[in-house]
Amino acid sequence: MAEFDIQPAPVLFEERRTSSGQHVAIATLNAEKSLNALTLDMVRALSSKLTQWAQDERIACVVLRGAGEKALCAGGDVRSLRESILAHRGKVAPNPYAQAFFSEEYRLDFQIHTYRKPILVWGSGIVMGGGLGLLAGASHRVVTETSRIAMPEISIGLFPDVGGSWFLPRMPHRAGLFLALTGASINGADACYLGLADYFLRASDYAIVLKRLDAGDWSNDSDANHAVLSRLLHALAGDAVSIRPPSNVRLHADEIAQLTDAPTLAEVVTRITGYTGDAAWMKKAAATLAGGSPTTAALIWTLRQRARHLSLADVFRLELVVALQCCEHPDFAEGVRVVLIDKDNRPQWTPARLQDVTPGWVEEHFAAPWSAWANEANPLDSLGRTTSLDRGTER
């Protein structure tokens, strides 16, 4: 008899009947060994189920978490993206796999931002890149003492996407610009201070949360269910005050504001990389920027300017263009090689210096890769045009 290699489901789904008769739906990213790195299969499974649950009157609340205790999601599956980039070299843009991955990932992120029913995202452990895209738009965002959050794209030649061009500029004291340029890791207290999280709980509280969800006074009223979940989480937050770590961003807010207060990218980079203080967190941030992709730094700066007055949907459309162009330019594949493949810490960036990044080079990254003669369009053109599931485009 032939043996078959049965692959585990990319996302596990559960529906729990509560004492009030409604159901709480739970989605678990199921790739513990890879720290729940987000794959295209995960994106598709999760998006499909969210659509189904949105239309199911039995479902009062949705919970999204990662398998295991180490991570919600350590980012997108950039290894597969790099393989597709190498396989697509020399061919007409855009890369089909990259287009599918980024467009469907961004559509999922937008779906979470605009979901009518309450979504609790359990952001315990590592939450990076694509994982932050899942957390940032949820109605109820929980972090814990184990949360480690970052947008480390400066080190892999991409840029803080998944809506980063929307939520990073909305942080106080230009902290979002600092975090984007340095890839600095932040903790749960930082996330609450910056508006990336709503509740700080203990990592061990997840089981208690489930029990209280089971006993919640749920109904068919979405607004009322948002309030039920808020009260439940607020009641638990007080128990975690004693283990809440100090916020590095809050501690260094004045320094961050001063270092990023300059009219040009070159001046900001010079100030950050020239940091002479004693704080280890700030030193690491400065060193990461110094070794990061100059092109990524330029994209971060330009996106901050161009996305300033855009809607959330328009931000995702813009980010899709830039992400696909990053797949056609050298630094993304090179950064993934350095960080995840060879791990040699010797990136060969193109260009190697910030002063050699020309306006024309940056502009190439904002050119839509779709062929006009083929009548192709941005796959996210319809995003935000319908409102059947929307709760609005701003949190």
pLDDT digits over 13-29, tens only?
999 999 999 999 999 99
Return the SS3 of 13.
Answer: strand
Mean pLDDT, consecutive 10-residue stretches, the chain (395 aa), reads 71 98 98 97 98 98 98 97 95 92 98 98 98 98 98 98 98 97 98 98 98 97 98 96 97 98 98 97 98 98 97 98 97 98 96 98 95 76 67 42
Instruction: Please state, in angstroms and as integers, the Cα–Cα distance from residue 261 to each residue in 170, 236, 272, following that order.
Output: 16, 39, 11
**What is the pTM (predicted TM-score) of this model?**
0.95
| pLDDT of 376 | 79
As given in the structure block, the two tokens for residue 213 are 């969800």
| pLDDT of 17 | 98
Question: For residue 372, how far is the Cα from the chain centroid?
Answer: 31
Return d(Cα 49, Cα 206) in angstroms, integer.
22
Q: Where are the domains of the chain?
A: 11-374
Q: Are 195 and 252 in contact (CB under 8 A)?
A: no
pLDDT tens by residue, 220-267: 999 999 999 999 999 999 999 999 999 999 999 999 999 999 999 999
Return d(Cα 200, Cα 41) in angstroms, integer.
30
As given in the structure block, the two tokens for residue 358 are 């020309």
Helix 96-113, helix 312-328: angle, nearest 10: 160
Helix 175-182, helix 294-306: angle, nearest 10: 150
Helix (H) or strand (E) holding 272: helix 265-273
| pLDDT of 387 | 44
| pLDDT of 93 | 83
Domain boundaries 11-374, CATH class = alpha beta
- Which residues are catalytically annotated? 76, 130, 153, 161
